Chain A
Amino acid sequence: SQELEQSPQSLIVQEGKNLTINCTSSKTLYGLYWYKQKYGEGLIFLMMLQKGGEEKSHEKITAKLDEKKQQSSLHITASQPSHAGIYLCGAGPPFGNEKLTFGTGTRLTIIP
C-alpha cells in the first residue's frame, strides 16, 4: 500500500512569513491532492496535481509535484491567521479506483 509522509508534523510561523510543507510518497503518485482541515471539521479541497513537474497556485498557496512524481510541496506566501489549520496530502491510485490515502498531516499555527 502507498504511504505518505508529511514534514514537518507541526509548524509555528509568524504572520507574514513564508512556509513550506512537504509530502513524500513511497510509490509513484498518480494523483496528489492537498486538503486543509480545521480541527474537528471537514476537509477543504485546495489543489490536485497529476503531472510530473506540475505547479498550481491559488491565492497565496502554491503546490508542486516533482518530476519523479514522488514528492509534493505546498508553499504559502505571506502567511495569514486564516491559513492556520491542518494540511493533509492525499494520494489516489491509478484508473478505476477513487480511494485516497492520506498523509500524516501538518499542523500549522500562525502567530501574530
Chain B
Amino acid sequence: GAVVSQHPSWVICKSGTSVKIECRSLDFQATTMFWYRQFPKQSLMLMATSNEGSKATYEQGVEKDKFLINHASLTLSTLTVTSAHPEDSSFYICSARSGAFYNSPLHFGNGTRLTVT
C-alpha cells in the first residue's frame, strides 16, 4: 500500500535554532501534502497545505514565517520550524493522498516529535 515516510522520528533542539522535517511519498506522487500538529492527548490540527511548485496554504493562526514549507518535488515536502521555542514542542505529522480522486484516503507519516529545550 501507499507509504509516507517522515524523518526524523524525533528531534531535540535548543531554543533559537531551526529544525527541518521531511515528508516523502515512497511509492506514489503527491502534488499536495498536509502538515498537522498534535498536542498531547489532543486531536490533530491542520497547519498547512503543501503544494508542489507553489506556495503553501496556511491555516488561520499558523505563522508562515515560523513554519516554512517547501514542496520542491512530487515526492518531498519539508517543514522547517524556524527559531524554535519551547512552545513549538509538539508532534508533527504529514500526510498525502495516494489516489487521483478527491475521496482517496490520506496516508500519514509516522510523525516527528520535536522537543525544544
Residues of A that sit less than 8 Å from B by CB: 31, 33, 35, 40-45, 48, 50, 88, 90, 92, 95-105, 107
Q: Cβ of B111 and Cβ of A40 under 8 Å apart? A: yes
- Shortest 6 CB-CB distances between A and B: which pairs? A42-B110, A43-B108, A42-B108, A102-B43, A45-B105, A102-B44
Residue of B nearest to A30 (CB): B103
- Chain B nearest CB from A20 CB (Å) reads 19
Q: Which residues of the other chain, A, contact B56 by a CB distance below 8 angstroms? A: none
Q: Cβ of A42 and Cβ of B102 under 8 Å apart? A: no
Residues of B that sit less than 8 Å from A by CB: 4, 6, 32, 34, 41-46, 49, 91, 93, 95, 97, 102-103, 105-111, 113
Q: Cβ of B103 and Cβ of A42 under 8 Å apart? A: no
Give A103 to B38 CA distance when docked, in angstroms. Answer: 12
Give A101 to B59 CA distance when docked, in angstroms. Answer: 12
- A48 interface neighbour in B32, B42, B49, B103, Cβ under 8 Å: B103
Q: Which residues of the other chain, A, contact B34 by a CB distance below 8 angstroms? A: 98-100
Q: Which residues of the other chain, A, contact B108 by a CB distance below 8 angstroms? A: 35, 42-45
Q: Cβ of B103 and Cβ of A31 under 8 Å apart? A: yes
Q: Cβ of B105 and Cβ of A48 under 8 Å apart? A: yes
Give A61 to B107 CA distance when docked, in angstroms. Answer: 19
- Chain A nearest CB from B106 CB (Å) reads 6
- Chain B nearest CB from A84 CB (Å) reads 15
